[in-house]
Structure formats: C-alpha cells, structure tokens
Amino acid sequence: MAELRPPRLVLGSASLRRLELLAQIGITPHALRPADIDETPRPGEAARAYVRRMAVEKAQAIALELNEACLTGDTTVMVGRRILGKPADRAEAADFMRLMSGRRHVVLTSMALRHGDRLAVRLVETRVRMRSLDEATLQAYLDVGDWQGKAGAYAIQGAAAAFIPWIQGSFSAVVGLPLSETAAMLAAIGIHPRLEGASA
C-alpha cells in the first residue's frame, strides 16, 4: 500500500513575520495566498470571538486544490474589553500606546487549519506588560514608524521591545504565530518540520 503524502501547506497570509516564524521551526509553505476579507469587528463582538472568527473566515475564503491544507492566523490586542487592531494613522497609534502605557494587556492570536472538510482552530492568550511611556519617548517611537500595520500599534520584536519588561505566555504568538501550538496542529495532518533544513 502506498504511503499517503502529507498535504501541501498554503499559508493564508501576506505576513513576512508568520513566514519567518514557520521557517524557524523548519516548515516552508508550498504557497502564499492571503485572504481578502472584511476585518471589521461586529458591534459588541468580544475580542476572543473576533480573533477566532477572523482566522476561520480567512481559512474559508481561500481556494484550495486537492491535497492542500491552509493555515491562517489573526492577532489582536485587548485592553479591558476594547479591541486594538491595526491603527489607521499616527494619531490612533498614539492613542493605543497611551492606553497600554504602564499597564498590562492581552495579545490574542488565533490560528485556523483547514484540510479537506476539517477545520481546526486554536486560540492562544499572552499577557504583556508595557512600561510607562513619557510623551517624548512616545513621539520618538511613532517617528520610527514601527507601529504601521501592527495590531495594537507595536511589534514585540521591533522598536517597542524596549517598552516590554514582562510577558506571560507565548512570545511567538505575540509576534504573530504560536509555534508550539502551530507545530502540533500541522503534525496532526502529517506536516512535520524539515529539521535538516532542506528547502521546499
């Protein structure tokens, strides 16, 4: 009996960070197919429900060929009950950073893995503390531009690393993809790391 080949992995994201994170655990997607969906939260939608819905809707929006599996993810920041997505402009980025300054927030990252008629979903929560930022520090950070396109207006692996003295949970989830959980999800459908570092 012929051995079943593992599915080819499609990463449903345009995020270089997620691509780099997969490479870190020896996984190279067969293709990149970013999903084009409306990412607006619904009125009154809780942050956890929102981030799970985004990952699922992305996975469902991507066309797959035979023997392909699709991995999608979504990351958002929650302060209290407020969802901090990607800031529209510098002023909103400043508002987000002031809101997080000197307090803890939660980074929510959800992944969805679609293979055939099966859909697996995981949600990972990481608690993050941001030190107090004075106005001069905040403006200098905004000048760098690292807030653009980032949930919560920061990337923990970027300039804002100087503001984060403590996290509880998954560092890679804050970057954009919780590696341990993702590796387990992929292994369940037969996709394993190329530990020898061979190219795809």
Q: Exposed (0-12), middle (13-18) or buried (19+): which is 147, by Cβ within 10 Å?
A: buried
Choosing from 74, 95, 134, 146, which is the catalytic residue? Answer: 74
Angle at 165 between CA 107 and CA 173, to 5 degrees: 30
Q: Is the pLDDT of residue 195 over 70?
A: no
State what percent of residues in the chain have pLDDT above 90: 88
Domain boundaries, the chain: 8-187
The structure's pTM equals: 0.90
The two three-digit tokens of residue 129, written as one number: 């503390």
pLDDT at residue 1, rounded to an integer: 40
Which CATH architecture fits 8-187?
Alpha-Beta Complex (3.90)
Report the alpha-carbon angle 153-169-143, nearest 5: 20
Q: Is the pLDDT of residue 74 over 70?
A: yes
Q: 74 catalytic, yes or no? A: yes
The predicted structure's pLDDT at residue 190: 94
Mean pLDDT, rounded, of the chain? 93
Q: Average the pLDDT over 27-56 and give the result.
A: 94
Average pLDDT value for residue range 58-72: 95
Per-residue pLDDT of 78-132, as tens digits, reads 999 999 999 999 999 999 999 999 999 999 999 999 999 999 999 999 999 999 9
> Do strands 8-11 and 31-32 pair parallel, antiparallel, or not at all (unpaired)?
parallel
CA dist list (Å): 12 to 24, 68, 77: 18, 12, 20
